[in-house]
Every structure is written in C-alpha cells, then in structure tokens.
A and B are shown apart, each in its own frame.
Chain A
Amino acid sequence: MEGRKTEKSAINLNETSSEKRFLKERIKEWEDYMNLTGHKDLSLDTILRLTEGYLEAKDILYKKDMEEYEKALAAEKGSLKEEIRQPEQDYSSIIRHFRILSDEYRYRKGADAVHYALGYALYEQGERDEAVKVFEGIIKNYPQSIYLPEVNFRLGEFYFETGQMGEARDSYRRVLNYPQSIFYDKAVYKLGWVYYKIDDFKNASDLFMSLIDRTWEGKFKEAGLTDDSVSCLVMSLTHFNKIDEAVEYLQSKGVRGYATLVLEKIGEVLTQETRYENAIYVYDSLIKNFPDNPNIPFMYEKMAALLEVNGDKETAIAKREILAHQYNYTTAWYKKNHPDGSEKIDSLIFRTIVDVSKEYHLKGKSEANIKYLQSAIDGYRNFLLLFPKSQNYKEINLLLAEALFDAGTYNEAAMEYEKTAKLYQETLKRGDIAYSAFLTHAVIFNKSEGDRRAVINNAARILEAYEKDFSLSGKLEKAHYTISDMYARIKAYDKARDIIMPLTKGKDFANAYKRIAELYLEEGNLGSSEDIYSKLFSTSKDPELQEILAKLRYRLGDEYLKAGKLNEAVEKFNSAFTVYPDSDIGEGSLMKIGHIHIQRKNISGIRDVVGRMAKAYPNSSGSLSLLVEAGQQIENDEPLKAAMLYEEASSITSDSKNIQKLLFAAGIIYEKNKEYNKAVEVFKKCLLKNEIPPDREAEARYRLGYSQIKLGKKEEGMETFSRLKERSGQTDNIFVAKAEFLILKERINVYLDMKITQPFEETLSKKTELLNHLIKDYSDMARYKMPELLTEMFFSMGIALENFRDSILHSERPSDLTKEELEEYSFLLEEKAYPYDEKAVRVYENSLQISREYKVYNEWMRKGLERLVNLRPALYKRGFAFKDVKPVFIYPEPVMMEAGHAEQRYSKN
C-alpha cells in the first residue's frame, strides 16, 4: 500500500512537470514566433491562435504557481525562514509585441482582436489608462468588433472603479445593446450599482428588478447574480425617501414571486438599521398584501418584537394574540398554507401563547386589572386546548389556576389547582399545589356568606386527600389550623377544636393547645380556656401567655361580677393579679377587688386592697381613688366610717388640693353627725396647712368655731369667730357671715331669755334696747347681699319681735291691782304688744318676698312661712293635694288561643 502511494504521487509529480513543460513550450513557441515580428510578415490568424494558447498557458501556470505559493506559505507559517515571493502575472511580453503589431496590423482583418488583446494585457498588467485608450480605440475604430460588449463592460468597470459614474453608465449601457452577450446581465447589474451610487434608487431598483425578473425561477439564471440583485434591490428600496414609497413601488410593479422575499429582507435591513417603525410598516404591508404567505406568523412575531423595542407593549401583545388565535393549527389559514403541519409555526404559537398569557398575567396582577387577568386566563385555557400533550401542560395548568385566583374566580381556581395537583407526581410540588387549592377554599369561605359548611367540607376533602403531601411540604399543621378557623367562624367550636386536637400530640403542641384555648375563649367558655392557658403558662412561663392568662382571669372576674357572683369575682381578680402583678392588668385587678369591697361596704377588705396597692404600685393613684370611692359609697349609711376613709385618703396623697378636699369632706361629715371633737381636730389640721386658700380658710374657721361651740367651748368658739370676723370686710364670704350670725345667735339667746318683770318700765327699756341693737345688727347683715342669709336674718328678726310681743303680754303683773285694774292693765299691754306682732308679720313677709325674688326656698323661708301660717292663717295657710305614691304591679294579660301558647303580655295596674 505504502509503495503504491509513493508510486502514485510520483506519477502525479511526473504529470505536473510534463504539463508545465508542455505549457512552457507553448509559451516558448509563442515567444519564438513573436520574435519574428519585424523580420517577417506574420499571419495574424496564427498570432491570435498562438496568443490564445500563450495566454491560456500563462494563466494555468500562474494558477499553479499560486497554488504552490499558498502551500509553501501554509507550510512555512510561523517560521523565520526567508520570505517567499508571491508569483505575479506578467503580461509585459505580449504588451511589447502587440504594441508593435497593433500599429503594423491596424488595418488588417482581425486587428480589433490584436487591440483587444493589448488592452486586456495592459489592463491586467495594471496599466489601465493605456488600456482604456486602447479599448476606446476599439470602440471608435472597430464598431463591428465582436469584442465591443466586453470592451464596453471593461471600460464601465474602469470608470466605475475610478468614480466616473457618467462614463461608467454610458459604457454599461452600450453593453445592453448586446442582450445575448454574457456581459449583458453583468452590465445590467453594474448599471444598477451606478444608479445606486448616484442615489437614483428608483432606476437602480428598476435595473436590479429587471435582472431578477430575467433570472428568477431558473430562466437565464446567473448563479450568484440573482441573490446579489435581490440584495441590491432591497438595499435600493430601503433608500427610498419614504418606506411607503418603496412598498408602493413594489406594488406598482405587479405580482412578483420574489416580492415577499424582498419585503421580508427590507424588513430585516430596516431592523438592522434600527428603523423599527419602517420595518413594522413593511411587515404590516406584507401581511396585508400577501395573506397566504406561509411565513406570516413570523412576520407577526417580528412586528411584535419591534413594537416591544419601540416601547409599545400593548400593540405588541395584541399582535401576538392575533398570531396565537389566527395562525394556530386549528385555523383555516394553517390548514391551507401548511397542510402537512409546520413544527416551526407550532413552536412559535406555543411560545407566543405562553409569553402573551404570562405577560397579561403579570400585568393584570401588578395593576389589579381584571381585564388583563381574564386575557391571561383565556390564553392559558387556549394553550391547554391546543397543546394537550405538551410537557408544559401541567405548568400552564398551574398558571391558569393562579390567574383564576388572582382574578378572584376562586371556585374555578380551586378546581384548577386540584386538577393540576393530580398531574404532578412529585409529592413536594403536589403538596404545594394542593395546598393552594386548599387555601383557595379558605378564601372562598372568607368571601362567602350564609351556610358555608360545604366550603369547609371541600377544604377538609383536600386535606384528607393530600395529607401526606401536606406533611412533606410542611403545610399540614397550617391546614389544620385553617380548617379549625373556618369552623370557629361558623361557631362550630367543637369541630374547630377536634381538628386541632391531633396537633397537641406533635412537636408544636403548645401552639395547638393555645389555639384550643383561644377557641374556648371565642366560644365564651372562659373557664376551659383559662384551664389550658394556666397549664401552658405553668410549664413555659412565656410572658405572652402570662399576659393572656392575666387578661382572661380579669375577664372571668368581670363575668362573675356581672352575674353578681362577687366571691368568685374576687378570687379571679386575685388570681389575675397573682399571675401578672407587674402589669396594668394586675393593678386593674386589685382595683376591681377594691370596687367589689366598696360595693359590699366591706371596709376591712378595702383597707386590705389599699395596702396591697400601696405595696405593689407605690406610684399609683388607685389607693386614693378606692378610699374616696369607698367613702362616697358608704357616706349615707355609715358617714363616720366614710369620714375616716377620707381622712386616711388625705394621708396617702401629697396633692394639697386633694388633702384639703378630703379633710373638709371628713370634717363636714363629723360636724353633721355631731362628732364635734373629730370635726375640731380635722379643721384644725386644715388650718395648719400653709397652702389653704382664703375662702377655704374662712370655711374651716367657721366650722371649727361652730364645732367648738357645739362642744360647749364657747370661748374658744367665739375666739375662732372673732379671728374670722377680722375678715368681715369680705362681704362675699358666706362663712364670715355665718360666723356673725352665730355670734348674733348667742346674743339673741340672751335676749330671748330676758323677761319683763317689775319694775316694768325698767326691764321693758332694757329689753327694748337689746331688741333695737339686735334689729340693727341683723339689718347690718344685709350688707352681705346673700339671699340665703337674708331669709335667716328676717326670720331671726321676726322671732325677736314675736318674743318682744310675748314678753310684753306675759310680763309680770303688778301685785297690787284689782281684778278690774288687772283687766285694764292686760288690755293696755295688748295694745302695746300688737304693733310688734304686725312688725313680725312684715318681717316674715319680707323673708318670703326675698325667697320669691331670689328663688331661695330654704329652711328659713319655710320656718318664716310656718310663722306666717301661724300668725295669719287666712292669708297663708294652704295645703297641697298629694296622691298616695304606690308601686305599679304587673298584672297578667289574657292569652290568645289560636297561636297555641301565645307569648304572655303584661299590663300595668
């Protein structure tokens, strides 16, 4: 084998070298022959034939040299050897010889061939200016030359390359006179380029299009040129001023088999040039004008992509929707254009439906727009319908369920979740999806009204069916709690607890118990709830539980309180305090106990609570308020105990105003209840306080003096009043006035006790003097301008006057008078006394008038009126007609018969 290979390559080498030798011989032959030029008249025909062979040989050799060169170059790549020289084509010999020949043989037949060969050689040798002259000479001197198409083409190329477009155009145009020439198509093509270069895109398009028309579908097809022409046509059309003009241009040219291709390519070019709107226009035109183009779905896709780039997402999505709906495999279009199906289009539709639906879904969700969500739902449903065997089926089904959920169509969502869950084999994922179905039922439950048991049953069914999956995905407990909550919401508390009960045996038993306790609480079964919380707290000491338990016990206490079970209430409040003493609940509980003791008027209980309050909450005002409230509660029934509580309260507050108020309250109670010793003590305490305001001080002094007098300590009392009287300038202080009244009362007592005895005139005069002073002093009391005092003042004056009258009437009679004289004497006394009776009546009437004017209906008015009734019964004795005040009994009402045991109604007697 090895030997045969070597042999074969040797043969090849031999062959190569013999060919080269042969070619070189031909070249030599031509050179030898041409060297005869000038020496011999050579045959032009021979020259041309030999030249043809010469050029062929040169060309072949050149190609071989190039091949070797390239091989050598490849072999030497990367080495630092001497540079290999690139072979060059050398036409100098032919140029040299043909220059001579062209001149000598100018007028011979076939001279155009010599000129052509010279021009060719010059052109290839790079001497193009001279070549152009030679070519132009041919055109000028040999108008019938067969070389004219090529010569013109070469000239056109020269002018094109040198930018002389006018000349190039003329040269190419001349080629068009030879439609059978192989240069014709090239010339058309190049002429198109010339127009393109001079921005005459319409002419360029015409030329490219004419070339495509000629070569399309195999007729005159020039390999490579058709594709190039299409590209050039596309290029030209994209340079039209407006893209619609380009489209119109194409339309104006009538039906072309390649029109859709061109439009598609225009679209691509415009897209590359970022002329998106133009590209969209082109695709749109394509769709409108070529509805049966099998690539239309892709046009839609491209349009949508461009619209998206342009930021018009809405139209993009609309286009994709059209794509999905009008071009899927169920449509007439599809069946007509792709009767055997198209994987590419199916795939595109598949992608599009998913993308569009997801897009709508996202948008609908983020904007909470039901319209978009419905579009997503429709899209997902469409997908499931079109691609039932797709691998993505379950994923899309899940998305459908999510979209339905987001759209608020919970019943359908729940159904789809369940359907999807069944499609999944993997337990974890299936658990998640089934849990979504479960939660959807929970949402349905929350949203619905009326009987919701059916909803709970659905949720329970899912829990039962996917219990293991829930367990694996860690959702089992949550599901239990959720169903329990639902039962609780319909007040089926037993069921709610039953659902949670199994969880009490799990890891998170504490929370389960806690929830059960909460359920008891919601149900109103506070006792059971408390039991559980109590046990939980005793094991965990969780501060949260501590607070809950305290609050619960507090509530229980309140419940007992409402039911009138005070002992139980106290016990609960106590336990609330004990479990959480450092809290508001603790303090509140003690306050509640205090209030219960107040209600029961249990003074020792109140004191006990106050002591505990002071110890546990030293800064709390609770103790103070309890004592005050207790005092107020028992004030009517046990005023002295109330006063003691007020005193105690005053000792535990530092607020001077409160102290004053409390001491006054206690003092006044003592005074009213004739505990004057204690009253004196309390009011003295009041006066010892520096911050006592003047009006309070006046009252305290008055009350102190009053109690002192009542204790029989008249001197001390009077002294107290005297100190108060020093303030008698204060005409607006009632207690100063009252003190004066008391002083006057002492004087009036002396006056009232004074009898008129013999000697009559003397004692009468003394009593008269006392009366006048009293009347004057009482009258002075009017300066206080206090109506309630004025009534008392008038009453006292009336009493004094009546006493004077009676004193005269009952005065001691002289012992030496006869019966007749005594009668006469009595008559005279009556005459003397009567004016005082009249005066007393007037004074009482004044008192009544004051009462009417100032609407002061007090004790003194009443007493004055009693005196008037006594003195002038006809004028003042009146009696109100009163009815007997009786309670209303509830009498039985008759009952109706037809309704069976009708409800009892009641009437009042």
Chain B
Amino acid sequence: MLSRDTVKISQVGSAKKLVPLCLKTGWACGTLFFILLFLTGCVTNQKEGYSLKNRIRAESEALVKKQQDDERQRKAIVLFNNGFQLINNDPIGANALYREGIILMPERWEAYYNLGITYMKLYDHERAIKEFSNALKYNAPQSKVYNAIGVTYQSMGRNGDAIKYFKKALSLEKSPIVIMNIANIYQDMGQKEESIKLYHQIEFVDISKLPLHNNIGSLKYKMGDFKGARDEFNMALEKEGENIQVLYYQAQTLLMLEEYENALNVYKKIAAKNSADPEPYRNMGIIYEIYLGDMASAYENYTAYIKNGGEKTKDMESWIEVVKVKMVKKEGQ
C-alpha cells in the first residue's frame, strides 16, 4: 500500500513529464502553469484530490480482490455442489471435493457439516465430530449440528455421549427427529419405558416421513409384545412406505405369533423384492415343510436357498433329503 506522501510525489513526477509535450503543442506558459498547478493539486483542494485518487485505487484493488474472491467462491461452490452430488454414493470423492472447497472458501458452515457427513459415511467418526464442531464456528444451526454429533456418537456405540448431544439439541429446538433418535438409543440400551415415553411425545406430530411406527414396533418386539409389534409394523408399512427391513421384522413377528401363513406371504413379498437373499427361502421352506405339510414347496424353497448362496448348505441338503422321503411317504399314503 502506498502512503499519502508517496502518492503525492509520484503525481508531481508525472506532471513534470508532461512539460515537453505541452511545449510541443505550443500551449501558452500560463496555461501550462495552470495545468501543472491543477495536476499537483494546488488549484483544486489537495485533500480531495488525494482521496479521490486513493479511492479510485482502493476501489480498483477492491474490485480485483472481489473478482478474485468471486472466482474463488465460484470454484468453491462448484466443488461443494459436486461434493453434494457424490456424498451418498461416493463419500470418498465427496470428502476430497469438500476439503478442496474449504481451502478456497473456508467460511461456509455447510461445507464442514457436509464434510462431517462424508466422514460419518466412511466410519471415521472422530473426524466427523471434528468437522461438525468446525461447522459450529461458522454459525451453523446448533441444534442441527448437535444432532449430527449425537448420531455419530451413537454410531460409535457411545450412547451416553450421544444422549448428551441429543439433549443439547433438544434444549434448542423440540425436534421430533432428535426425540426419535434419543428414544432409539434408550431402546438399544434396554430402557424401554423411557423409550416409549419419548415415542409417545411425537405421536401427534406430523411424522409421515419419520419411521416412528417401525421404531415402536421394534421396541414392542423386544418387549415380547408381538401383537403390538405386528400392528406397529403394519402401520409403518402403511404410512411410512414399504421398506424391506420392516417386512423382515413383520415376517418374523408373525412367526413369533405362530401366524405361519401370514409370515409366508410376507416372505414371498420379500423374496419378490430381494430375490438374492437366501434367508427368506430357508424360512419359507420350514413353514412349508413343518407347518403346512407342503413338501414340494418346501423342496423348492430349500433348493432356492442353496441356489442363492445360502451358507448352511449342509443342513439344507439333509433337509432336502428328508423332504424327498416325506414326499415319497406321502405319495405312498
């Protein structure tokens, strides 16, 4: 940066250089003198002259800086956006983009937050927590960040810490998401009463996008209330969309309730959705063989289990043999 004096000297210098040019053009000495005075600031207010030129320069510098900043920001935004696109399917790629973007544009909390998410997805929980904490330095919504940290601790199995952060989030905002996450932790910890109480708190909220019934069903299943679990899973499938995991839970709840035919139907649905999983075939085979006495179907399902890469092939082969015998015996009858 130039000082005011430096600017003044350089201005005088530039005025002197103009003299021969003016003589060549034949201007009168008086006029030339006036021009000199003008350029040196003697005629005009000198202070204003300085400040004008100074301002122009400062503005010019600011403009350049702004253009550079803009360019940098533009690049950063492109990186962030690309990272956003990759975050679910390619967390490593997203992670690299976010880190590069943060160097260019370090003041955006969203970048740290999303970077934290990439670490979560890469199971690097410690770094995830660090980035979430960084997001807080740039005015990230606290409740949101505390919830993210809570979820990370939960993934680490540090339920106490998770609860601590979820409660911090809750003290700022009564978010049904946070309430549900705490309830889930209580469920995992076997504190069923606390868990159910929290689930009830969000029963009247619009939870159409939250898996409340699934989670209550899961809790009831663990409590041995299979009828209650069945009802909750039914509601989950009805209101929260047909999720394959819920279908599995529902099927095994029906087995616990000895509703074998219903369970069979659910497994059929699962097999239709995810035919590569061998386990449903195993369970269907057992239902057919033992509870329905349909040996042909049992045979088909046991075979499908092996075909789909079921691990317990030895067991299955022996069961297939038994089924064959039972089929022959039945035919003999």
Contact = CB atoms under 8 A, between A and B. Distances in A.
Given A852-B291, A885-B252, A892-B120, 12 more contacts: A851-B291, A857-B259, A858-B258, A880-B283, A881-B279, A882-B252, A886-B188, A887-B215, A888-B218, A889-B184, A894-B117, A898-B77
A584 B27 CA distance: 109
Nearest to A883: B248
Among the interface residues A562, A858, A865, A908, which one has the most CB atoms of the partner chain B within 10 A? Answer: A908
Contact-residue size bin, chain B (C-beta under 8 Å from the other chain): 35 or more
Contacts of B120: 891-892
B209 interface: yes
Contact of B114 (A862, A891, A894): A894
6 contacts: A876-B290, A881-B279, A888-B218, A889-B184, A897-B77, A898-B77
Contact of A890 (B117, B141, B180, B222): B180
Contacts of A901: 110, 141
A894 B151 contact: no
A855 B294 CA distance: 13
B319 A878 contact: yes
A888 B184 contact: yes
Nearest to B253: A885
Contact of B144 (A862, A888, A892, A907): A892
Contact of B249 (A855, A858, A883): A883
B108 interface: yes
B303 interface: no
Nearest to A895: B110
A875 interface: yes
A878 B286 contact: yes
B221 interface: yes
Interface of A is mostly: loop
A904 interface: yes
B184 A887 contact: yes
Nearest to A896: B84
A852 B298 CA distance: 14
Contact of B255 (A880, A885, A895, A907): A880
Cβ-closest 10 pairs across A and B: A887-B184, A857-B258, A887-B215, A892-B148, A888-B211, A894-B114, A881-B279, A852-B293, A878-B286, A890-B177
Interface string B145-157: 0011001001000
A880 B177 contact: no
A885 B218 contact: yes
A857 B260 contact: yes
A849 interface: yes
A187 to B, nearest CB: 114
Interface in B220-279: 221-222, 245, 248-249, 252, 255, 258-261, 279
B261 A894 contact: no
A887 B292 CA distance: 32
B255 A897 contact: no
A30 B282 CA distance: 169
B149 to A, nearest CB: 9
A336 to B, nearest CB: 82
A747 to B, nearest CB: 30
A874 interface: yes
A906 interface: yes
A855 B282 CA distance: 21
B261 A855 contact: yes
B144 A562 contact: no
Nearest to B108: A897
B113 A894 contact: yes
Contacts of B188: 886-887
A896 B81 CA distance: 7
B322 interface: yes
Interface string B178-197: 00110110011000000000
A852 B222 CA distance: 28
Contacts of A848: 290, 293
Contact of B290 (A865, A889, A894, A895): A865
A630 to B, nearest CB: 19
A888 B215 contact: yes
Contacts of B219: 887
Given A880-B252, A881-B279, A898-B81, A886 B141 contact: no
Interface in B41-73: none
A723 B292 CA distance: 40
Nearest to A893: B117
A214 to B, nearest CB: 108
Given A852-B291, A855-B261, A894-B117, A881 B283 contact: yes
Contacts of A564: 201
Given A852-B292, A876-B290, A906-B209, A886 B218 contact: yes
A182 to B, nearest CB: 118
Contacts of A902: 110
Contacts of A908: 211
Nearest to A868: B290
Contacts of B292: 852
Nearest to B279: A881
Given A890-B181, A906-B177, A897 B211 contact: no
Given A857-B258, A895-B114, A904 B144 contact: yes
Given A874-B318, A890-B151, A862 B255 contact: no
B1 to A, nearest CB: 34
A665 B180 CA distance: 37
Contact of B113 (A875, A879, A895): A895
A855 to B, nearest CB: 7
B210 A890 contact: yes
A897 B110 contact: yes
Nearest to B201: A564
A890 B81 CA distance: 23
A907 B210 CA distance: 9
A906 B209 CA distance: 9
Contacts of A888: 184, 211, 214-215, 218, 245
B59 to A, nearest CB: 28
A875 B322 contact: yes
B287 to A, nearest CB: 9
Nearest to B281: A881
Nearest to A904: B144
A891 B259 CA distance: 34
Contacts of B88: 907
B259 to A, nearest CB: 8
B249 A885 contact: yes
Nearest to A875: B322
Given A889-B154, A894-B113, A878 B318 contact: no
Contacts of A879: 286
A906 B151 CA distance: 12
Interface string A829-871: 0000000000000000000110110010110001001000000
Contacts of B214: 887-888
A886 to B, nearest CB: 6
A908 B279 CA distance: 23
Among the interface residues A849, A862, A885, A886, which one has the most CB atoms of the partner chain B within 10 A? Answer: A885
B80 interface: yes
Contacts of B249: 883, 885
A864 to B, nearest CB: 11
A242 B325 CA distance: 122
A696 to B, nearest CB: 26
A891 B141 contact: no
Nearest to B111: A897
B151 A881 contact: no
Nearest to B326: A875
Contact of B181 (A849, A885, A889): A889
B81 A897 contact: yes
B199 to A, nearest CB: 9
Given A888-B214, A890-B177, A897 B291 contact: no
Contacts of B80: 897
A878 B215 contact: no
Nearest to B87: A894
A562 B204 CA distance: 9
A889 B151 contact: yes
B218 A891 contact: no
A480 to B, nearest CB: 40
